[in-house]
């Protein structure tokens, strides 16, 4: 009966792929401990050599990937180059999830209470990827205005520069929804916390490994998404500081993660004390150059020494934003791929445990591997 019920749930979920929308009246930035029973050294000792190797390899790679995102210099907080690197890192991490799911072969019963929340996480991540891509298009429109202004410096470039400023100050309407989506990701962590707190569910070794690595990935993803939110929205309201519970401090990636947010958060908050409209270093430099150019145009002079470096900066910024967009699209694809891998694993396990042949699942998208 349990397996039939689980199969029914999976089938309904695949067909509707609903996302639970929760109205959170208060932004929560504390990362609760959803899998308290999974993080003790005693549990590690019970894992088979194969599972222990899979877990250690994944968490080692996760640790390295987080450490590589710690800015070496204040000027890298937050640069477009860092944003490209962060999206590349998330893309690779989610690609690793897809591989891990296939290697683990998690029993269906392990995920009966969690799979809708896990899959909802994938959907929420994709929603934010689409939102970030939309904001990049918004910023790219500003770059097009500047390129047009450079071609009209002798005529009405002052008006175009004003239009650029108005465009950059105006906010993309979708930004208003980002906080709610991030809050729903935080809430799913609380859901797992309440389940584990009951202490009634006994997971297989494979299930423990999967849930443990998904938690680490969620912490990394949630924090980076909050940095992108702050960078694009011009507000630190949704910039998270995720605290790690004491019983989880021994996890290999925790120290690198704490260093990451302890390095980035103060610098972002200090930047917001200024009167600029962005914390993105490259865009901030362009803003300063445009102000100087506008003043020069108003005074009737257009010094070439001012125009040429600014024009070069705008071209480079466009190219870098395109790379951010490309890596964000890659992440969106890998999120779907990881979700499909988990669905396919559950589907196959259901068939094996029921002793029946189920129709082949149709994947959501064709995943194009990065060259």
pLDDT for 127 = 92
Q: Which of 191, 204, 269 is nearest to 35 (CA)?
A: 191
Distance between CA atoms of residues 148 and 144, nearest Å: 6
Distance, CA of 236 to chain centre: 16
pLDDT of residue 341: 85
Cα→Cα distances 340→19, 141, 255, 344, 348, Å? 16, 34, 31, 6, 12
In angstroms, the CA 270 to CA 295 distance is 27
Q: Which pLDDT score is estimated for 348?
A: 79
What Cα–Cα distance (Å) separates residue 303 from each residue in 159, 186, 270, 309? 18, 51, 33, 11
Rounded to two decimals, what is the model's pTM?
0.83
Query: What pLDDT score does 116 carry?
Result: 75
Given this model, what pLDDT does residue 275 score? 63
pLDDT at 33: 44
Give the per-residue pLDDT at 121: 87
The distance in angstroms from the start CA to the end CA of the chain is: 45
pLDDT at position 11: 41
Tell me what pLDDT residue 247 has.
74
Q: What is the pLDDT of residue 15?
A: 36
Looking from the CA of 315 toward its CB, the CA atoms found within 13 Å total 7
Q: How far is CA 76 from the centre of its chain?
A: 19
Cα 262 to Cα 70: distance, rounded to the nearest angstrom: 9
Which stretches in the chain have pLDDT values below 50? 1-37, 198-199, 362, 365-371
Q: What is the CA radius of gyration of the chain?
A: 23
Angstrom distance (rounded) from CA 262 to CA 267: 9
- The confidence score (pLDDT) of residue 359 equals 62
Q: What is the pLDDT of residue 3?
A: 43
CB 10 within 8 A of CB 343: yes
Residue 9's pLDDT is 45
Q: How many CB atoms lie within 10 A of CB 368?
A: 10
Q: What is the pLDDT of residue 243?
A: 86
Give SS3 for 19: coil
- Residue 254 tokens read as 């925790």
Q: So what's the pLDDT on residue 20?
A: 29
Looking at the chain, how many residues does it have? 371
pLDDT at 216: 93
- For residue 155, give both structure tokens: 């005529």
Give the relative orientation of helices 49-67 and 80-104 as an angle to the nearest 10 degrees.
170
- Cα separation, 182 vs 176, in Å, equals 11
What is the predicted pLDDT for the residue at 201? 62
């Amino acid at each position: 009966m349990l397996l039939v019920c689980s199969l029914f749930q999976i089938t309904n979920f695949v067909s509707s792929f609903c996302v639970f929308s929760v109205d959170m009246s208060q932004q929560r930035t504390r990362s609760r401990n959803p899998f308290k029973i999974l993080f003790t050294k005693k549990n590690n000792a019970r894992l088979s050599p194969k599972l222990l190797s899979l877990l250690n390899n994944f968490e080692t790679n996760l640790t390295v990937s987080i450490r590589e995102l710690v800015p070496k210099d204040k000027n890298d907080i937050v640069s477009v180059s860092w944003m490209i690197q962060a999206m590349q890192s998330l893309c690779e991490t989610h690609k690793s999830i897809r591989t891990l799911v296939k290697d683990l072969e998690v029993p269906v019963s392990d995920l009966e209470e969690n799979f809708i929340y896990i899959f909802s996480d994938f959907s929420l991540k994709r929603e934010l990827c689409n939102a970030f891509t939309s904001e990049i298009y918004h910023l790219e429109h500003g770059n097009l205005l500047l390129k047009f202004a450079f071609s009209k410096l002798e005529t009405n470039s002052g008006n175009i520069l004003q239009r650029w400023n108005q465009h950059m100050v105006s906010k993309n309407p979708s930004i208003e929804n980002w906080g709610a989506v991030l809050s729903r990701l935080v809430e799913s962590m609380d859901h797992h916390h309440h389940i584990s707190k009951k202490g009634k569910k006994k997971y297989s070794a494979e299930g423990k490994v999967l849930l443990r690595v998904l938690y680490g990935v969620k912490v990394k993803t949630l924090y980076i998404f909050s940095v992108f939110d702050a960078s694009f929205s011009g507000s630190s309201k949704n910039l998270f500081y995720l605290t790690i519970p004491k019983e989880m401090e021994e996890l290999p990636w925790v120290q690198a993660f704490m260093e990451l947010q302890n390095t980035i958060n103060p610098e972002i908050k200090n930047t917001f004390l200024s009167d600029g409209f962005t914390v993105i270093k490259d865009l901030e430099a362009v803003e300063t150059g445009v102000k100087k150019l506008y003043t020069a145009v108003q005074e009737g002079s257009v010094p070439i020494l001012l125009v040429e470096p600014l024009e070069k900066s705008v071209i480079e910024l466009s190219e870098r934003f395109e790379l951010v967009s490309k890596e964000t699209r890659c992440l969106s694809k890998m999120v779907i791929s990881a979700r499909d891998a988990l669905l396919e694993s559950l589907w196959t396990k259901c068939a094996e445990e029921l002793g029946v042949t189920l129709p082949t699942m149709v994947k959501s998208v064709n995943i194009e591997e990065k060259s």
